[in-house]
Chain A
Amino acid sequence: MSAGEVVASFVVPVHPHTVLAPEQNAGWQRLRDAFDEAAQTIRELEADLIIVYSTTWPSIIGHQIQADPNPEWVMVDHDFHDLGSIPYSFNIDAEFAHAWDEANQNRGLQSRCVNYKGFPIDVGSVVALTLLNPDNKIPAVIVSSNMYANRSETTVLAKACLDVVKAQGRRAVAVTAMSLSNRMFTDFIEPENDKIHSLKDDEWNRKILEFLEQGRLEDVGQLSRTIHRQIRVQKVVAFKPMWWLSAMNGNRNDLTGRIMAYEAIHGAGGAVVSLDPTPSGAGDKEYDEDDVEYFHGERGVLDTIDEVEDDGGSPPQEGSKPTKQGPDLWEPTEAEGSVNTTTAPKPVGAYPHARRVGDMLFLSGVGPRQPGTNAIPGGPIHDNEGVPLEYDIRAQTHAVVENVRRIVEEAGARMDQIVDVTTFLVDMKRDFAGYNEVWAETLGKVGPTRTTLAIDALPTPIAVEMKVIVHMAD
């Protein structure tokens, strides 16, 4: 099986005009032609999965993923019902959907699959899949746009998706069904009179497209909040799709972009944009936002306080259940030079999170448990009776690195000042490869020396722990 990858990305418009009435307006026809060309490109790339993030499918309870293998119905747009109806019968990759759902939960996201006869597939998804995959040969998956999701959550959603793309060795195409400026005319217009609603919207759209043509997807992602304020009707679904698409492409600014069409649809900015992962754009990214691996935001709001083991400062994580397995938790000790933080899990004995001596910082062994809930991302390695459980070593390793980062930063140090790491694995044969992969993506880029040891057990039902030494002098 080859390594999974995103072989192409597309931005496509959401309104039904390109399906139902392209002949009524030359601009709509150009968008339709671009759709058709994009469909041809996807076929030539021999893609085996189309992933649609749709802004016209809002959700409240986390993200929803379509998992009906063959959803069929007739879609009629709430506004443009007079254009006609779009019957659909899609080929959904339910196995991928369930795997993505599980990956989401491993990364702390609220997520669920939906598989119900008659579920109303949203207009953006219907348009995208009808035109990009007209013969339904390529399986697809659709994800909702959560009303309350911020950049962190949306980024983690993409990373979870990539986990599955890689694990399954897929050749995936990522699609965002979205408008650029989304202000439509609020009155009825004749098709021939369609144009971008305002000069200001048009200018912003062209600036976005200029960036995308230069392959600067991450720059558009970082400007998304500004774009939303400037040219978006302030609905609940903000200009989030670029966060997802950028994360699906490794938050890069050096993609190969191409504007295939840009036209008005009832005043809104509609564009078909191709983003090829081949490097050719502006170059190094300037990633000045948190590169979040796990979602730690507002979730679990229905839980009462007494269900949480302590009030360590973070809300409980969904998807990695709080565990009471293992020894009692202790308050960290406070000897001279101790460094402790409520953002790291509590010790399982009388010791601090770290201790500073001169310009050296020595961390106690750090595992993946989460502060507050004691939850283990990726799941515990066994249950209360000691029965082995399936777990995700990559998720656990990511969580260890995140906990290390919190302690290091609490001490006023930086991750790139880590000089030596000793890692303990409870199952070297099973876990070394996954652990090593995450290492390469994280601490491996910092460059500390490393020793990896196999041990019999750790005090809590975890698979990996790190002992870290930091040299704080610049």
Chain B
Amino acid sequence: MAKGQIVAGCIAPHPPHLVYAENPPQNEPVAEGGWEQLRWGYERLRASLADIDYDAIVLLSPHWQTYVGTHFLGLPHFEGLSVDPIFPNLFRYHYDMNVDVELAKAIHDEAEAAGLPVKMMENPDFRVDYGTITTGHLFNPDWDKPLVVISSNRSTAYYSVEVMQEMMIELGRVTRKAIEASGKKVVVLASNSLSHRHFTTESEVPEDMSKEHITSHAMHLWDMRMIEYMRTGQAQRILDEMPEFTEQAIAESDGGGLSWLLSTLDVPTYPATLHGYGTIIGTGNAVVEWPCHAHEVSEA
């Protein structure tokens, strides 16, 4: 069996506003558009990967929050209705998705062997979180690739960003190891905003873009700093500054996705491609791709 490979690593946001604005048939509310910069960013990301062959998407979602270990969806198929408990007016999505249970179990087993508390989620009544569905839809609207869905362990809240990062770097390492052992070609995807301070009011028309902007200059500066590191191949600096970024930008990196992603990519030194940046109810969001296929294929 050929060695498995990560063909791309991506950070991409999951606020339900983006699906709402797309008006896909699966979502009940209807919008007049909005947040185009980010949706076009997702379009560019999809186009960038259109000619890349891959077998599965491995996704870490900060809206499947677990406090006791890291969990993996462990059944081959999930379908149902996902209603966002915070923005139910925007997101009531009928989902139908497949899971690569074999790969999920492989990552689970590697993580367990490395000493991380892990569990397979095998309850058929489980409702998949809206972060997974939003990113899953925007990344692959046809839902024709199986997913591996990993929960977000809240170790930042329990301990510190440093402890979280230590755990996520280890989880990233074993994720990569399991993917390579699987012989599969995989995209790894951190469903993640950057700065994460919300507005606490909503426009009468939620997609009124005249109201949309970053919550503060400081948040903008942090977002641009992180994006610049991504664009210039300085992933290590992102990890180095993660505690300050997470605290000062109230960043969603507290969920561990970004640290995990960079670890699965072996802390890349090549530039990432910024496909789009925009704000959603004041939070900072970027669609970024590390095109591993162009940099790591010779190692496979």
Contact = CB atoms under 8 A, between A and B. Distances in A.
B89 to A, nearest CB: 8
A187 B89 CA distance: 36
A148 B68 CA distance: 25
A110 B198 CA distance: 14
B68 A81 contact: no
Given A61-B202, A110-B200, A118-B83, A82 B123 contact: yes
* Chain B interface, DSSP helix/strand/loop, else mixed: loop
Contacts of A57: 85
B157 A235 contact: yes
A74 B125 CA distance: 7
Nearest to A74: B125
B201 A318 contact: yes
Nearest to B282: A301
Interface in B59-97: 64-69, 71, 80-83, 85-89, 92
B176 interface: no
Given A81-B126, A302-B202, A186 B67 contact: yes
A85 B125 contact: yes
A119 B83 contact: yes
Contacts of A59: 85-86
Contacts of B85: 57-59, 119-120, 122
B218 interface: no
A45 interface: no
Contact of A187 (B117, B123, B154, B215): B117
A76 B128 CA distance: 10
Given A76-B127, A79-B66, A85-B123, A299 B158 contact: no
A116 B88 contact: yes
A283 interface: no
B151 A78 contact: yes
B122 A82 contact: yes
A200 to B, nearest CB: 15
Contact of A82 (B119, B199, B201): B119
A59 B86 CA distance: 5
A233 interface: yes
Interface string B200-228: 11110000000100010000000000000
A147 B68 CA distance: 22
B157 A81 contact: no
B155 A186 contact: yes
A183 B68 CA distance: 10
B158 A114 contact: no
**B153, B199, B282 pick with most chain A CB within 10 angstroms:** B199
A404 B103 CA distance: 67
A437 interface: no
A234 to B, nearest CB: 6
B201 A116 contact: no
Contacts of A318: 201
A186 B65 CA distance: 13
Interface in A91-150: 110, 114, 116-120, 122, 146-148
A60 interface: yes
B68 A301 contact: no
A235 B117 CA distance: 21
A114 B66 contact: no
Contacts of A64: 86
B113 interface: no
A295 B85 CA distance: 24
B189 to A, nearest CB: 20
Contacts of A80: 68
A444 B211 CA distance: 44
A302 B66 contact: no
A117 B82 CA distance: 10
Given A58-B86, A76-B125, A118-B92, 17 more contacts: A58-B85, A59-B86, A61-B201, A76-B123, A79-B67, A114-B88, A119-B83, A120-B127, A122-B85, A187-B69, A234-B157, A235-B157, A301-B200, A301-B282, A302-B201, A302-B203, A318-B201
10 contacts: A62-B201, A78-B129, A78-B151, A82-B122, A117-B81, A118-B81, A187-B68, A233-B154, A234-B157, A302-B199
- Which 9 pairs across A and B sit closest by C-beta, in order of nearness? A118-B81, A85-B125, A81-B123, A302-B211, A187-B117, A76-B126, A74-B125, A116-B88, A233-B157
Interface of A: 57-62, 64, 74, 76, 78-82, 84-85, 110, 114, 116-120, 122, 146-148, 183-188, 233-235, 266, 298-303, 318
